[in-house]
Amino acid sequence: MISNDSQPPKRSGTVDPNDLSRDFIGFGQNDLWELDANTAEPQQQTTESGTNFGIMDKPEAPDDSEKSPTHAPPEQNSAGFFSRLSKLERISLLAIAAALIISSTLTIIHFTKEITVSSEILKKVRLPVKGEILSVSSMETYWRAPITQGDNPDSTQRGVILIPVIKIQTSGSSGAIRIFFRDSDGALVGDSTTLPISGDETLTISATDGFTDLGMHASYRTSEHARWIVQVLEGPSVNAPIEKFKNLFTTEISTDIR
């Protein structure tokens, strides 16, 4: 309460600092004073929170942290997608991954083994080659242009300018020989050839397909992995079923042109 003997504040003119300080001495902490625009009388104002301010107090600057609280970024799951899966889904994914790894490994081993075996077969061809029916004492391979005229023209595909040829010297009893020409991918080139054999003979067998331009042969010469091969099989007769024919040898076709 303000004492009755205190003088009211002056409404105009210069305010005595002593009087002003005296007027505020009796203010309680729960009183807020402000000048009314119409009466120019000091008025009491109390905030809703119960905190009162004096007339000379400056409003506090708004707390940005309270108005716009900083939201912390959501914590990222360190485990990622895998941690959100159920136990059964994790086991399924791991099983699929393991199956793919095993399958890829076995495939690589298989093809590596096949390539290695083929190379060993080609390198281990030693003459003479003896089979159950026939023996091959000499052998050579090369390329040449198809024979289109004469008594025995080559039966080749149209447009072919170079064909592979194998020349072999055989000995042994009567039987049959079957020849397969294959490209670097192992695919059959042209038709197979089956001929009867009776004792010692010199045979020259050519493929029915080959290169259609010299550039293909140039590539063949420069790439060791593009070699064509020829398979030589022996059988009891020309008309014997395929299962009766057995492999004598397999060899690469050389790069020679004749």
Would you say 181 and 207 are in contact if contact means Cβ atoms under 8 Å apart?
yes
> What span, in angstroms and rounded, lies between the C-alpha atoms of 156 and 147?
9
In this structure, the answer to whether residues 148 and 202 fall within a common structural domain is yes
For residue 146, give its domain range.
Answer: 129-252
Claim to verify: residue 135 and residue 218 sit in the same structural domain: yes
∠ CA 72-75-77, rounded to 5°: 170
Q: What pLDDT, on a 0 to 100 scale, did the predictor assign at position 125?
A: 75
How many CB atoms neighbour CB 192 within 10 A? 16
Q: Is residue 258 part of a domain?
A: no
pLDDT (average), residues 14-34: 48
Residue 72 domain-assigned (yes or no): no
- Indicate whether this model's pTM tops 0.95: no
Number of domains in the chain: 3
Question: Do 90 and 36 lie in a common domain?
Answer: no
In this structure, the answer to whether residues 100 and 149 fall within a common structural domain is no
Instruction: Say if 209 falls within a structural domain.
Output: yes
Is the same domain home to 178 and 214? yes
State how far the Cα of 47 lies from the Cα of 150, in Å rounded to an integer: 123
Q: Residue 47 pLDDT more than 80?
A: no
φ, ψ of residue 257 in degrees (nearest 5): -120, 130
User: Taking residues 157-167, what's their average pLDDT?
Assistant: 94
Handedness of CA 116, 120, 123, 129 (dihedral sign): negative
Taking residues 8-34, what's their average pLDDT? Answer: 48
Q: Does 3 map to a domain?
A: yes
How many residues are recorded in the chain? 258
- The span from the CA of 51 to the CA of 167, in Å, is 116
